[in-house]
């Protein structure tokens, strides 16, 4: 019984082993004739043994070794051949037919020219070739090879290594002909993934017909940097001539900006139409007598329309109508707002606001807007110039990597400048400082990444790599900044922003004695300003100014009890914003549409370490 179980187990193991290996290569024979131009005419004879029917075999031949690119030419085969792909690093093709299956022994003959050219090694010439690459996916039982040289070689400078990638152990046997021009040898039982590499060192100049390689990297880099310097000079000249802003004169003013509602002030101040702008409009409309606000309990608000807007711009009128349309047209509750379509209306209103600031109310200078397109163009161009120059002699893949890093840097510079432009008037110093620090860290990371790629992957010197890294970090970033700041404000935007800044200064800095006198002459002053303070983020600052100053109760508010307290109405604006606007609108559609004022816009070698080789398998 025990013997029977053992036999069954052994049989299962044998069957599993056969199932795991569906084919082997019985023989692999390579003949290679080397020319004085360092090209190799290669003939391969491959005998495959298919235990399971397959269509044929495939071969993968590497065409890149370090920074040296090689070529495969004159490819021919005894069987139908189909090339699958040619990338920057490999040539891949299949032998056989998709309509035919073969089994048992099958011989394939393959020939091609492998052209290396100048190896760029000034100390000596060499043959460093993987007779069998580490990419073969099945065992090779017997490998034989014959390599013929154009001139005699020295026996003590011949090395044959084999095994897994990186192995320096001698593998197989070889002999050199009497005339010193031919090496013949063999190796047996190479496992899948094992390589066999022949290295022969010769004196410099052995390959006398090689066309010397000329490295244009330094010349192209110098030329690129010079061109980038000219582009920077031109972009700075355009900024100086067309993009410099007029001197900003913010004079304290006690009246709201001329002809602007809080919604429009909010858009001009930060380039955004958001939910807080709508909150400000509720208090603005209430102060104008167009609506009343009734608070019945926690998060229970009723808004009642008293009259239609008179003389309001189209965007404001639409916002007012659609707000009450969520109810019965005259009154609307929080629950009705949550179920309505106010979010969709806000999207349309945002577009209408941007359209409103066109023509005579255009926010950017038309000439400056055109001139900034140069910086928008120079940014990507500078990236491509540096990337191409530094990778001209390297793998195309690194060109793509460096270009992507540069384009990302340019895009982040645009975003950085755009955000600062939006918030320069109403943004906090802490947030601006954070943006500066984040941008500095980004530039440091880009410099480090590009330096590492240039030095480690491309093999450039440390100083050259630093120059490339700085160029790819600083030039697109500078062009991104100039692309934004060159779009100078129009005279209309300049005047409007000066009025907004002056009104902000009044809200923030008005002294209590002066404020008390103003309230005596206008008891509703607090409510006149509240809508603008909300949109500028100063509602709490404005309310605190009234500590110790008596104000009248708002005529447009009804609550559980009479309230005549500035801080209460400041808090009320926050509660309405969070409970009504954010709840009713943000939950319907997330995100806001932004529109900036400035934007319209030598040893034995090792196994697998040489040229050629590659691998193959069945398909």
Over residues 48-65, the pLDDT tens digits come to 999 999 999 999 888 877
Give the C-alpha separation, 131 to 32, whole Å.
9
pLDDT over 90, % of the chain: 45
pLDDT over 70, % of the chain: 88
Give the C-alpha separation, 217 to 167, whole Å.
34
Same domain, 335 and 374: no
518, part of any domain:
yes
Give the C-alpha separation, 81 to 108, whole Å.
11
611 vs 66, 117, 120, 136, 253, CA distance in Å? 10, 12, 14, 15, 78
Among 485, 507, 525, which residue terminates a domain?
485
Same domain, 346 and 474: no
Model pLDDT, residue 19: 43
Same domain, 425 and 314: no
Same domain, 240 and 306: no
Residue 315: closest CA among 342, 289, 344, 354: 354
Give the C-alpha separation, 372 to 485, whole Å.
8
Model pLDDT, residue 594: 36
Same domain, 232 and 271: no
544, part of any domain:
yes
Same domain, 530 and 555: yes
Q: Is residue 113 packed enough to be buried (19+ CB in 10 Å), middle (13-18) or exposed (0-12)?
A: middle
Model pLDDT, residue 35: 94
Give the C-alpha separation, 476 to 616, whole Å.
44
User: Is residue 381 within 8 Å of 231, Cβ to Cβ?
Assistant: yes
Same domain, 202 and 65: yes
Quote the number of domains for the chain: 3
Model pLDDT, residue 11: 46
Among 461, 485, 509, which residue terminates a domain?
485
Q: Which of 9-23, 148-162, 234-248, 348-362 bottoms out in mean pLDDT, i.e. has the lowest? A: 9-23
Domain span at residue 524?
A: 262-364+493-586
Same domain, 202 and 94: yes
> Which pLDDT tens digit goes with each residue over 232-241?
999 999 998 9
What strands, in cross-sheet order, belong to the sheet with 331-333?
331-333, 300-305, 291-297, 557-558
Same domain, 396 and 524: no
> Which pLDDT tens digit goes with each residue over 340-382?
777 788 888 888 998 999 888 888 888 888 898 999 999 999 9
Same domain, 359 and 440: no
17, part of any domain:
no
11, part of any domain:
no
The full DSSP string for 13-50 is: HHHHHHHH--EEEEEEEEEEEE-TTSEEEEEEEEEEEE
Among 468, 485, 502, which residue terminates a domain?
485
Handedness of CA 93, 96, 99, 101 (dihedral sign): negative
514, part of any domain:
yes
575, part of any domain:
yes
């Amino acid at each position: 019984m025990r013997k029977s179980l053992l036999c069954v187990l052994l049989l299962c193991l044998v069957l599993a082993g056969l199932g795991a290996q569906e084919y082997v290569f019985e023989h692999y024979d390579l003949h290679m004739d080397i020319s004085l131009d360092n090209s190799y005419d290669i003939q391969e004879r491959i005998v495959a043994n298919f235990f399971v029917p397959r269509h044929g075999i495939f071969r993968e031949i590497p065409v890149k070794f370090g920074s040296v690119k090689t070529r495969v030419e004159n490819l021919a085969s005894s069987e139908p051949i189909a090339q699958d792909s040619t990338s920057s690093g490999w040539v891949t093709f299949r032998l056989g037919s998709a309509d035919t299956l073969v089994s048992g022994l099958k011989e394939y003959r393959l020939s091609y020219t492998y052209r290396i050219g100048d190896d760029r090694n000034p100390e000596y010439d060499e043959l460093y070739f993987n007779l069998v690459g580490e990419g073969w996916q099945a065992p090779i039982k017997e490998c034989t090879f014959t390599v013929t040289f154009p001139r005699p070689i020295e026996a003590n400078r011949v090395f044959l290594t084999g095994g897994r990638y990186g192995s320096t152990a001698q593998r197989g046997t070889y002999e050199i002909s009497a005339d010193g021009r031919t090496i013949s040898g063999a190796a047996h039982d190479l496992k899948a993934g094992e390589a066999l590499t022949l290295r022969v060192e010769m004196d410099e100049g052995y390959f006398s017909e090689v066309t010397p390689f000329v490295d244009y990297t330094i010349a192209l880099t110098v030329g690129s940097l010079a061109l980038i310097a000219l582009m920077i000079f031109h972009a700075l000249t355009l900024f100086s001539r067309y993009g410099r802003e007029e001197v900003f004169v913010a004079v304290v003013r006690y009246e709201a900006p001329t002809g602007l509602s809080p919604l429009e002030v909010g858009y001009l101040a930060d380039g955004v139409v958001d939910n807080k702008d709508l909150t400000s409009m509720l208090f603005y409309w209430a102060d104008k007598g167009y609506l009343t606000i009734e608070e019945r309990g926690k998060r229970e608000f009723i808004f009642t329309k008293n009259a239609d807007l008179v003389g309001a711009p189209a965007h404001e009128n639409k916002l007012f109508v659609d707000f009450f349309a969520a109810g019965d047209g005259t009154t609307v509750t929080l629950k009705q707002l949550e179920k309505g379509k106010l979010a969709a209306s806000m999207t349309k209103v945002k577009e209408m606001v941007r359209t409103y600031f066109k023509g005579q109310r255009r926010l950017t200078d038309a000439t400056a807007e055109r001139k900034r397109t140069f910086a928008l163009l120079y940014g990507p161009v500078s990236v491509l110039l540096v990337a191409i120059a530094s990778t001209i002699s390297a793998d195309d893949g690194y060109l793509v990597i460096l270009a992507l890093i540069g384009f990302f840097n340019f895009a982040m510079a645009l975003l950085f400048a755009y955000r600062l432009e939006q918030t320069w008037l109403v943004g906090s110093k802490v947030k601006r400082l954070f943006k500066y620090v984040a941008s500095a860290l980004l530039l440091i990371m880009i410099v480090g990444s590009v330096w590492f790629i240039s030095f480690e992957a491309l093999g450039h010197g440390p100083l050259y790599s630093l120059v490339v890294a700085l160029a790819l970090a600083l030039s697109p970033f500078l062009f991104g900044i100039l692309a934004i700041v060159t779009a100078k404000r129009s005279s209309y935007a300049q005047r409007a922003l000066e009025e907004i800044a002056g009104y902000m200064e009044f809200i923030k800095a008005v002294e209590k004695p002066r404020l008390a006198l103003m309230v005596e002459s206008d008891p509703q002053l607090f409510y006149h300003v509240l809508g603008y303070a909300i949109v500028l983020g100063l509602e709490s600052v404005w309310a605190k100014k009234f500590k110790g100053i008596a104000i009248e109760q708002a005529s447009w508010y009804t609550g559980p009890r009479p309230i005549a307290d500035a801080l209460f109405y400041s808090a009320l604006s926050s509660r309405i914003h969070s409970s009504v606007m954010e709840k009713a609108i943000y939950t319907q559609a997330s995100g806001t549409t932004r529109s900036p004022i400035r934007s319209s816009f030598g040893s034995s070698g090792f196994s697998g370490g040489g040229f050629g080789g590659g691998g193959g398998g069945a398909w």
